[in-house]
Structures are given as structure tokens and as C-alpha cells.
Amino acid sequence: MKIISWNVNGIRAAYKKGLVDFIKKENPDIICLQETKAFEEQLPEDLRNIEGYELFINPADPEVKKGYSGVAIYTKLKPNKVIKNKLGNKFSDNEGRILSLEFDDFTIFNVYFPNGGKSQEHFNYKLSFYDEITKHLTKLKSKTNVILCGDMNIAHEAIDLARPKENEKSIGFLPEEREKITEFLNKGFTDTFRMFTKEGGHYSWWDMKTRSREKNVGWRIDYFFVNNEIANNIKRADIMTDVMGSDHCPILIEWDK
């Protein structure tokens, strides 16, 4: 099973840059998109209906902000259940950040984590968002296999960004943020990319304003995490740095079910 995750920074913008051709060429079983910034009715017909795939889209509540956030999943597999904006019964989000699909033997969570940089309130929400994800997925993995993917807006370790020293006080690399990923992994989850690649220099996001992609001055803030029980069945985890069309590049895993 091949699964791709990509923050497209606008699904309609990515469409104009060849998103449909990319999906057809890569032919994943599931592709999760973040920061879609659109409602389903705003999508061109050939983006809404890609042959062989069912589309599930979860935009932000228009009362929050139009053209903001949003996640979507194209899947060849028919899910048993589709859940939007919720983690169990106790946490809900109205910014279109969470979309999960339940299948017979696993649940996939496509999540666009908050950036947290606008204010202290936003930063606190980011930390509590991580706490809720950790709490819910830790409980869930005792019942089914769990895959969490998306733009997590945190570089976990110094190896995950090109200039850690200069960014010690930057949002996305603060100690209290990085600790949230450590806490999550310690609950029984694996960072799939680090199973295969131990060295630095591999990033998934670059600041377009400074043209940092050309110099590979980036951050690895997009991840696939899986529960430890299935980690050994992940046969490949990669960052698709050659794919353009966004300030992020896609990431993928191949899972031998």
C-alpha cells in the first residue's frame, strides 16, 4: 500500500501545476492533502472526480476564515467511516484541520497542525492540539492500527532543519513544541522516515520568499507516524524533493500489509 501526504498550499493552485497528473503518475492507494483552502464545489470537475478515487474534503468553517486551512483525502479503498474535525467525543476543531478514515484494520489521520505563530493564544492552542492528538491516538492504537500524517509544523530534532542554532527561538523549533513530538513517539509510535534515513539534509518545507529551496535551507515538518506494531511492515519512507508545486514537497510511505 502506497500512501502520500502533501501540503499543497492551495489545492486549486496545485491543480494548475499538475496535481491530477501527479496523482495519476504516482498512483497511490491513498493521498492526503493539507492546506487545501477550498470547498468541494470550488474544485474543477476533473479534480473532484479522479478515476479510481473517492474524494473526501474537509474545509475550514467559513465563519472562521474563507480560503484558509482545510484537508482532503483521495482514496481507492472504501472507508467504513469518515470523521471530520473530531478526536473522539471530547475534542473538535472548526478550522478544517482533521480528517480521518476508518478501515477494517487501520485508521488514517490526515492532519494540518496549527502553526501557533500568530499569538500566545494560538501557540497555546497548538500545544493543546498536540496533547489531544496524543491522548486520542494512544487510546485508539489499542484497538486498531494508526497512521498519522500531515504538516505538523514542528521540526522535531536539530537534524530536521538546516539551521537549528539560528532557529532556537523560532516557532516550530521551540523546546516545548519539540517535546510534544517526543511525548507522542514515546507513547508507542514511530517516525517512519527516520527508520530509513539517519542523516540530515532532508527537508519537506522551504521558505519561498528567500528562495531557500534552491539552497536546500529547509525544515522537515511533514511526517508519517505509525504505531510501533506495524513499523516493521513499512518498507519505504521517502521525501519527494523533486516534486514542485508548493512550498512543501510530498512525502510517502509504502506499507506491506
Catalytic residues: 151
Buried b (16+ CB within 10 A) or exposed e, 60-90: beeeeeeeebbbbbbbeeebeeebbbebeee
Specify whether the CB–CB gap between 138 and 109 falls below 8 A: no
Phi first, then psi: what are they for 220, rounded to 5°?
Answer: -100, 100
Strand ranges for 103-200 from DSSP E: 106-112, 145-151, 189-191
Q: Which residue has the cell 518545507?
A: 205
Phi first, then psi: what are they for 97, rounded to 5°?
Answer: -105, -15
The count of other CB atoms within 10 Å of the CB of residue 50 is: 15
For the record, the C-alpha cell of 246 comes out as 508548493
Specify whether the CB–CB gap between 48 and 74 falls below 8 A: no
- Tell me the C-alpha distance between 94 and 187, whole Å: 27
